[in-house]
Chains A and B, each alone.
Chain A
Amino acid sequence: MLAVQLSALLDGETPGVTETLDLVTGFDDALTHGLGRLGGDRAAALAALAGAVSASPLGDRAGEAVDKITAGSVAGDHLTALAGARTALLGAVHDALLARLDTALGRTRAAWEAAAAPAPAADHLLAAARSWLHELAITGWRGVDHDLVSASSQTVEALLAEPRLRRVAVLLDGLAAELAACCPIATAPRVPARRWADLWARAVLLAQGLPADPDPEQVSGRLLVLGVDVHEHGTAVQAQVHGLLEPAGGGAARLVRASVSAAKVDTITGPAVWRLLQAHPVLLGALAEHRSLDLTGMPLLASGDLLWHDDRAAAGEPADPFAVARVQLADALAPAVTPLDRHPVRIAEPVLLEGYTVDGEALVLDGHPLAVELDRLPRCGPLTPELVAASTACIGLVRWDAGRWSVQPLAVQATVKRKPVTAHAGDWALGPTDPKVVKAEAKAGDVVAVLRERAGRLLRK
């Protein structure tokens, strides 16, 4: 990313974003206090949200939903319509932001061409999830207590057991854990209103059932890894690898992702999480050893997501992600975004930053400061705020949250004690390489093995 590109990204507002987010904030405030007893101001906020989508296919349903909810009769369909309206507005914000980022970077993005898939069949497990989400909305975050949180427990357990419903299960489990940790919310000093409304609206939509993904294409070629983004809550971990696919038949390199995830418990954290992903040794090996991968017939979704089959990948030559980023990232073709996933939180565009100075929590490129997401340095890898502060080059993901652009480092080149050091988030995918961390891990023992032994002995009695 050049200074001129950064300046194009940062200078001036993106039109409409602030106004749209104000409408979302109004809805989020209503959800904080509960849709079961709306005052005049909050009813007006809902009406404004519905008004913003009135010219869209959602318009009639959203309008009717606000009328009914304001009159005190809240039904499931009304809440779904409002969740849809809020999601549509954030989708528009996402589109404006991503277009701005693509323009600044000069990045070409494929268009979404798949036809809309038919709605899935009804599902009683999803009905249970919807009913809990409706309770939450009527009650409002401020009214949520332990009983309401634990009412989700059986539903989440049943959803988790069903692999095709894993996404909504992981989402609800994460939300319920946060609500439980904050109880009693009535007296909590503050409420993460945007975040919880995001999670709620997302869950309401997922609980309608997901349309089937369009058929993937089968791709072959060389995958050059740029880095790995790690996601984690108490009971889930996901490693999302960003890379460039050089198609075997020639053509432009394509930006792709490979995501592998596992269920876990809160006490499995830090480098131990890699042990939960050991079913993918070729992928983890490429991360740890900085190798390219030769793919044969790997399914690729239109969203740029490879459906990872470790047996369709073979370890290739060593490939330095910084060299890959310097030579090929600027001209790579970016994938389309799945319509349902259009939300600013998923903007995660790989970039290379070089020749900057570090000023506190920002990288400064020719006078333009870009905030660094130091909170997002995963504990399963060697990246630290100190390394970022000492860095001169960085592969990262451009992110946006609450009106601010930032970069999440995936790898840095730094100078420590006058020696060059390179660190990637996935360096420890096959186990820590830092002697101090190895020692600490050895002291704690193999937590995954301990819990598996306990499960083996106690679960099947």
Chain B
Amino acid sequence: MPKSFRSHLRITLGPYRLGLRLLRRELVAGELRVMAAALVIAVGALTAVGFSTDRVAQAMRLGAAELLAADLLLASSNPIDPQWTRQAHRHGLATAHTLSFRSMLAHGDRFQLAEVKAVSEGYPLRGRLEVAKTPFGAAHPTRAIPSPGTVWLEGRLLSALGLRVGQTVHLGAAQFTVTEVLALEPDRGGELFHIAPRVLMHIADVAPTQLVQPASRVTHRLLLAGEAAAIAGFRKQLATALQPGERLQGTDQASPQLRSALSRASQYLGLASITSVLIAGVAVALAARRYATRHADSVALLRSLGASSRWVAQVFALQVLVLGLLAGLAGCALGRAGEAILSNLFAGLVIGDLPPPSWKPIGIGLAAGMGTLLSFALPPLLKLRTISPVQVLNRNVGYFPAPMRASYAGAILLLAALGYQLGLEPRLASSVLAGAVATLILLAISARLLVKGLTGLRSRVGVAWRFGLANVARRPQESVLQIVALGIGMLVLLVLTFIRTDLLSSWQAQFPPEAPNFFLLDVQPHQVGAVQRHLAQYGLSPPALYPMVRGRLRQINGQPVAATHYSDPRARRLATRDFNLSWSEQLPAGNQVVQGQWWAASERPVPAFSVEQGLAETLAMRVGDKLIFDVAGQPIEGRVESLRSVAWDSFQANFFVMLPPGVLDSFPATYLTSLHLPASQRQVLGGLVQAFPGITVLDVDALLEKARSIVEQAIRAVQYVFLFTLVAGLGVLYAAVQATLDERKVEAAILRALGASRNRVMLGVLSEFVILGLLAGLVATLGATVLSKWLASAVFDLDLHLDPWLGILGILGGAASAGLAGLVGTRSVLAMPPNASLRAT
């Protein structure tokens, strides 16, 4: 190697070697402790949330897949081309077939219409069947399907036919033994109110029944499951080759009950983790300023020894990069450990093994850690380049660390990128950013005014407090900076606390222990009183029953409604199905008119419609549109008077379309109700079905349990992530205290040299930090109140009830924790003999 090149290489590598050496030593000496800890916390929070939301998303996909019993299904009125099955296997996908049709089931002289589903081995590919030995008895999951020659019947079918497990039934030309009561089939959910009771049989038994002929109305389904990428690829292929009568269904539409709770949870988690990055960023910025100030002399020396400004920049940039990488990796490890806890919390959510967590959260965590350092720590460190070497001779030349505002642009960019990555609603992300900026400005202005205002108090307080007040006022820049840093930390913590409390209670209120877990359908008008009495004799309070008439939407504003007019698959389905029309004088509980007006009680019966807003959107209906419904062959014509929002996650009886009372009186109606039955009283249903054979009982207990467990898990996740934010907040406090530690050491030493007792010095430090904490807490509480009110109504759809005690707690908590952090942070000052402090300067 030529000598000049080697020399060049050494010069080039010099700053990196020194940078690494300094980094290693300073990590060991604890110089970078605050910066590193803040980063680890931020990255840990982000990755834990990243991992867990990844899992939640997977759980949601799986939950949706359970509703299909597959990841993807191809349904057709004709037999499915066997080539699709072969190709699916080539794509590495698991397959199963089902065949459904309606038929009469006979037992002795009793007959009952049933919905038959014949299934192949492997069904269901997602989710599990649950069976019991008696109707409405205790159920357990099974991986089996009915073996040939046997059938599993839904409980109400056994009740209606007077059957017991072990007896035989006739289906077409064949006879079957009933071996199980079918308690739950995963893919039943979407069609809860629309199908006759279920018979499950083996697909090989269809031929002996002789029920399926070439022209029979049957639905063939090919169920597919496998890796997400393979499914997506196969779906594309299938979509381009669909024949008439064939349709594809994916897991895109998850159950709406769970979606709203989970989307709010993930928004909150995203917000909380971004917040911890922001708070940690403030801690990093404070720590970096201190680090830069402490290194000003060293840099001046390096400059005097001939180091160029670029060389100095390289030394510190390398430190930032390596520190970012190390802290990022440690944060990822922390996040991964946190995720292990979270995934335990989410364990009940999914059946079977989840695929290993993806690498994406690690990537985001590392990038965010680096981004936090680059935007918050690099500006003060790079300012070291500008230090004059003459400082080695004359320290009065001084070094002024970069102002905090140098970090703002990078911080805003970083937070925006994170918000985008975490899938935060743009409105939420931008409002948090705008709120943060506005709060910073507000905090700075109020902090300045408060600091100024304090000066007048000095003559009226004792020595220790005077010293504290004097310190606050003497370092107005630092005091304002500390109040702003503390305040922003407290503000976001308070916002998260305010919203969290209401978010959690609104979730818990959604699924109270007495939420309805059974629906009774097809109750005839003359049975309404008898059903209520029947339930009352078991000590159950008589439920309210809602009337229901089936009707099909025929025209909107004179245009016939046909599936071919819509491209949206949901709209196409809705266009061809019957709606359950109901009527009520009052707006049902859980409903809210979002447009138009609910009818007044006194009006005479005029046909008018109130439509659920989602349905109106899908079928492009507006207030004022003229609709014609076909009810039992008669047109019912009227205008849309209102659009309603409906709490679908309430598990109450809800209707897409409602009318005023009286309009549908002449049509045959059935009644519907929902009720809560504790597990110990499930046998009530057996008696009910025997007493009223025509009544359909729907068991949503399993679905409700699932929804409840998801929400509980989301609650635990929120509380867990909140802890990260809290720790990040404490990190800011600590960093803020550390920022002025060196100066404090000298002050304390001088005071003690002058004869002040240790306690008096301690009281002085305490009073200063309590004052700072009070000021920061006051400003933060005001800001948090405004911001939470806005966020709750605009983003989380909550009616926020602010607890004034939380505000007071915020102010006092700010003062107490700042005081405590001050004492802990400065304990080394108090412990050091004054001589040592003075000599060290």
Whether chain B is bound by chain A comes out as no
Please give the residue numbers on chain B whose beta carbons come within 8 Å of chain A beta carbons, in ascending order.
none
Partner-B contacts on A (CB < 8 A): none
